Copies of this chain bind each other. A is one copy, B any other.
Amino acid sequence: MSITRGRAVTISDVATAAGVSRAAVSKVIRNAYGVSPGMRRRVEAAIEELGYRPSVAARALRGSSYRLGLEIPYVSARFMSQIVEGATRAVADTPYQVVLAPADGPEYSTLESLADGLVDGIIAVSPRVDPPWLEELARRVPIVMLGRHDDPQGYDTVVGDDAAGAGAVMEHLFALGHRRIAHLTEPEAVNVATPVTPHVVRVAEYRARMAAAGLEPIIEVARWEDGDTGVREATARLLARPSPPTAIFAGHDDIALIVLAGVAAAGRLGEVSVAGYDNTDIAQHPLIDLTSVDQQGAEMGAQAATMLLERLRGRTERRQHMVSTRLQVRGSTRPPLP
């Protein structure tokens, strides 16, 4: 039952079968200039018959792998699905394919290993790598960063309008009559040394709105590394305050879900409003019914892929794109108890 790995069909095999040179076959498969209809026909017939498929490795060594790498921080994040979907849709009619690289550990190494020749370009959702390092990497391979409010030289960015999104949440909560509004965010967002991530912007907007309303910000940080526990404890701390918040604005839906669980565990469901961010699919579930900011993840993914393709076609000036947001109001936010 031992298996002999079949040697793959190479361009030489096709050339021999079609009675032409390898260069000719290469031209045909790349739709390059200078092929007679007759030759094209014969070559295509041979390709079909032998079931030839070009080796990605060999192509990559010579130039392009026709693969775009999409680096994503943690696959579980529901928001990522939207981005992946948008990116794959955007390359659907091109010879390019999207491959995903889950950043299990440090994002630096995931990005580097992508850059090691596996892909022609990189789309990355990496809040924690710092801009100078990225500039350096961008010298080797085209990069589009998602969700970074950087001011880059060598790479492109696609971001949501985080200020507007966070602002919309705050306005909504104020309009409902809330005053004691807490914000629950990720550690990275309160560390000033960090690059400007979406969460940094959301926190800033939250602070600004609270200040403008003459209110003291109530910020709690959930250490995401602790998993659900961190968020759950942060929620508990908020609810245990002498004057607990009447509304909690969570940095994103995954946090909001756990906050919701915490509020339910405290038996205060319906009493404490909760808003999220990303409008992931579960937010619309009637049993969750979470008010959230839709920032068009699919659109972001598609834009990023398109911009990367432009780079591959030769664009060298940087581009920055911002997608708009829309607040999706649902049942998880209501007026505070009188």
A-side interface residues toward B, CB under 8 Å? 1-6, 8, 53-58, 60-61, 65, 67, 75-76, 78, 80-81, 84-85, 88-89, 92, 97-102, 104-105, 112-113, 115-118, 138-141, 153-154, 257, 260-261, 264-265, 281-282, 285-288, 316-318
Cα A113 to Cα B264 in complex, Å, equals 47
Q: A61-B61, A140-B5, A286-B261 are in contact. Are A84 and B75 (CB under 8 A)?
A: yes
Let me know if B139 and A3 touch, CB within 8 A: yes
Closest to A154 in B: B3
Evaluate contact between B6 and A139: CB separation under 8 angstroms: yes
* Known pairs A100-B100, A317-B1, A318-B1; A264 contacts B288 (CB<8 A): no
Whether the pair B53, A57 counts as a contact (CB closer than 8 A) is: no
Question: Complex: how many Å from CA A4 to CA B136?
Answer: 11
CA distance A8 to B117 in the complex (A): 10
Report whether B6 and A316 are in contact in the complex, using a CB–CB cutoff of 8 Å: no
Contact A65-B57, Cβ < 8 Å, known A104-B88, A261-B286: yes
Give how many copies assemble into the complex.
2
Q: Please, which residues of chain B bring their CB within 8 A of the CB of A105?
A: 92
Contact (Cβ within 8 A) A58 B56: no
16 contacts between A and B (CB under 8 A): A1-B317, A3-B153, A5-B141, A53-B116, A55-B116, A56-B57, A57-B60, A57-B117, A57-B118, A67-B118, A75-B85, A76-B281, A85-B104, A92-B104, A118-B118, A287-B287
Q: How far is the CA of A182 from the CA of B257 in the complex (A)?
A: 30
CA–CA, A192 and B159, complex, Å: 47
B265 near A285: Cβ-Cβ < 8 Å: no
